[in-house]
Amino acid sequence: MIQFDAVHKRFPNGTTAVNDLSLDMPEGGVTVLVGSSGCGKTTTLRMINRMVDPTSGTIRVGGKDVLAQDAAELRRSIGYVIQQAGLFPHRTVLDNIATVPLLLGWNRKKARARAAELLETVGLAADSAKRYPHQLSGGQQQRVGVARALAADPPVLLMDEPFGAVDPVVRAQLQDELLRLQKELSKTIVFVTHDIDEAVRLGDRIAVFRTGGHLVQCAPPAELLARPADDFVADFLGAERGLKLLSLKTLADVPQGPAPEGDWTLALDPAGRPLHWASGDTELPLRPLGDGDSLLAALDESLASPTGLIARVDAAGVLTGVSSRDDIHAHAGRAHTEARTVAA
């Protein structure tokens, strides 16, 4: 969908921001650009919608050379979300979201109807429509930024550290929302972040850059974590690469057995939903996990559990069985071996 072919960007002051970049960003996927500060991520992103033009090389979006297109028109056809949302302070939330449709010549009524629909899509209350950006929290402003980028339904979305300015809890919520939206919308997304955990969580592919605008490795998260191309990538991924890999694997295949009947038992509510571990008068909290939860969450829960067992539940939260720390551990080990061999 987006192809970089031998792209070079040197600014007039002599700085090389991007060096001989060849990279394909597949249609309907999230490509995350990561790397230390100043390694050329933002410049790469901005060359896609011609906010920056390359010095040499070719960039194609949907097969068309971006340099052969009118820059303003191209920009309107590509969604763009930046840190701190970049909203117009004197326009209401609704009018902010309707910006691009209005620029594209939609009538006001249709543009506002679309904006109202998008408010709901990004999880904002309808009464936010008439507020001004400063009357919203940072997280809400980011949602408006995403809604504005989606307004004209562009096939491509560029996101530059969109969640960089919000606290970790809100950040995780925004990441969840983006994953949910992406399941529905299948946009081609290019996402810049400093945060490797965010990259692993959101990316279908992760491109790691190093200073001087060099692409070092581009691979799906599991492959990157299992087989970093060199020490630079390994260092960038951090010491807990193995645990990060487990965050990508689900519990689904880990066997389940019946609930235990020893010292510790599982207390259930009348509907069969686990409440806590119980032994005599002692109660210990638990976190029930479903098939879609990660092996990392399962390991964490099994370490906290007095029996080493985790409570498995269905979509309704009803107990389906328990899994042991040993089974989770065995699957975790297998996930590593698999990732290494698949990548080899």
Footprint on this chain of ligand ATP (rule: CB under 6 A): 11, 13, 15, 17, 35, 37-43, 194
CB of 39 to ligand ATP, least distance (A): 4
- CA dist 73 and 61 (Å) reads 13
CB of 239 to ligand ATP, least distance (A): 22
> Contact, 228 vs 58, CB < 8 A?
no
> Contact, 25 vs 155, CB < 8 A?
no
CB of 43 to ligand ATP, least distance (A): 3
> Contact, 29 vs 205, CB < 8 A?
yes
Alpha helical stretches, state H, 261-344: 295-304, 325-343
Beta-carbon contacts of residue 29 (< 8 Å; ≥ 6 apart): 188, 189, 204, 205
Residue 42 or 141: which CB sits closer to ligand ATP?
42
- CA dist 50 and 324 (Å) reads 54
Q: Which residues pair with 210 in a beta bridge?
A: 214
Question: In whole angstroms, what separates CA 144 from the centre of its chain?
Answer: 17
Residue 9 or 249: which CB sits closer to ligand ATP?
9
Residue 28 or 212: which CB sits closer to ligand ATP?
212
> Contact, 2 vs 59, CB < 8 A?
yes
Q: What backbone phi and psi angles, to 5 degrees, belong to 198?
A: -60, -40
CB of 17 to ligand ATP, least distance (A): 3
Residue 57 or 321: which CB sits closer to ligand ATP?
57
CB of 233 to ligand ATP, least distance (A): 16
Pairing, β 274-279 against β 265-268: antiparallel
Residue 11 or 88: which CB sits closer to ligand ATP?
11
CB of 74 to ligand ATP, least distance (A): 19
Residue 209 or 277: which CB sits closer to ligand ATP?
209
